[in-house]
A = this chain, B = another copy of it.
Amino acid sequence: MRTPAANAELALLLEAAAAPTPGNVDRYRDHPDLALSHFLAGAVGARAGLDAAAAGTPTGEAFERSIEGMSHQAGGNTQFGALLLLVPLVRAAADDALDPKGVDEVVRSTTVEDAAGFYRAFEHVDVRVDDPPPDLEPLDVRRGADAVPAVEHRGLTLRDVLAESADTDGVAREWTNGFERTFETAGLLAGTAVADSPDPSIDDAIREWLRRTDDVLDRAARVHLALLGDRPDSLIATAHDRATARSVSDSARQLLSGLPETPPDADAIEAFADDLVDRGINPGMTADHLAAGLFVALERGAIDP
């Protein structure tokens, strides 16, 4: 059996290799300065921090270690958001409580010191984020460790910090809602009913299409497309604008619109993937949700490469 940390690392690798995942680095596509090899090295490098999370190291410190390790490759930020989801999920799994309630307990137990670890993680890698509103400028994550005194002064836990971004950042939002999208994604990957998501947002015709392949990388790629079509990607909104994020989501949904009668055209999906890479559009939030969902599905034995 793989340990939770090993499954988290494998989830990162499967996410990186799944293809086509339009706009993201995948088995068949690199971005000009961001390549599959960077994701492989990032996943391996993150392992020590994931092991630490499983062993009970405080969440902020384990997260910082995972980011520090991830950063030992030339591609820059490969898996920051995915690790922000995986570290508490690994901890919940190590506590034998990998469900929305269990991971919510992990994030609700975070402290001011965990928030400091989160800020220190930004010292290791450049992460694309929105400008904060003026009153939150002292808490700008790009200040890295320099923001820690302000965090301590305000007495913010790591969950408090992330809650500030929950409206605009689809990864931060997971920390506030019991990792709803993560568990929904795990259900999509498993091809089963989604016990943890009573109100699934992906319709039955798409779910049925996801189940039509047993290949783990193929199914992961289908889930990526379904997620992208279901909800605009917050990283695209940050890196470009909200209209671009909506437009990309609309395009993804359009590719799936012929279901259940007409499966999506494989060539059209490939062309969409090539187009997003050409335009430098990278749905990183969707990739992060996919990685987190892959971890839960691996832990539950719902997928087994």
> Are A40 and B6 within 8 A (Cβ)?
no
A10-B44 contact, Cβ under 8 Å, with A27-B27, A27-B28:
yes
Q: Give Cα A105 to B252, complex, Å.
A: 57
> Are A1 and B37 within 8 A (Cβ)?
no
User: At the interface, yes or no: A94 with Cβ under 8 Å from chain B?
Assistant: no
Q: What would 13 more interface pairs be, CB under 8 Å, given A3-B48, A27-B36, A74-B304? A: A2-B69, A6-B48, A9-B44, A10-B40, A10-B41, A14-B40, A17-B17, A17-B40, A35-B215, A35-B217, A41-B305, A73-B304, A74-B305
Contacts of A27 in B (CB 8 A): 27-28, 36
A273–chain B nearest beta-carbon distance, Å = 15
Number of copies: 2
* Top 8 A-B residue pairs of the complex, sorted by shortest distance between their CB atoms: A41-B305, A37-B305, A13-B40, A10-B44, A37-B216, A73-B305, A6-B44, A37-B217
A58–chain B nearest beta-carbon distance, Å = 22
What 1/0 flags go to A68-83 for Cβ under 8 Å of B?
0100111000000000
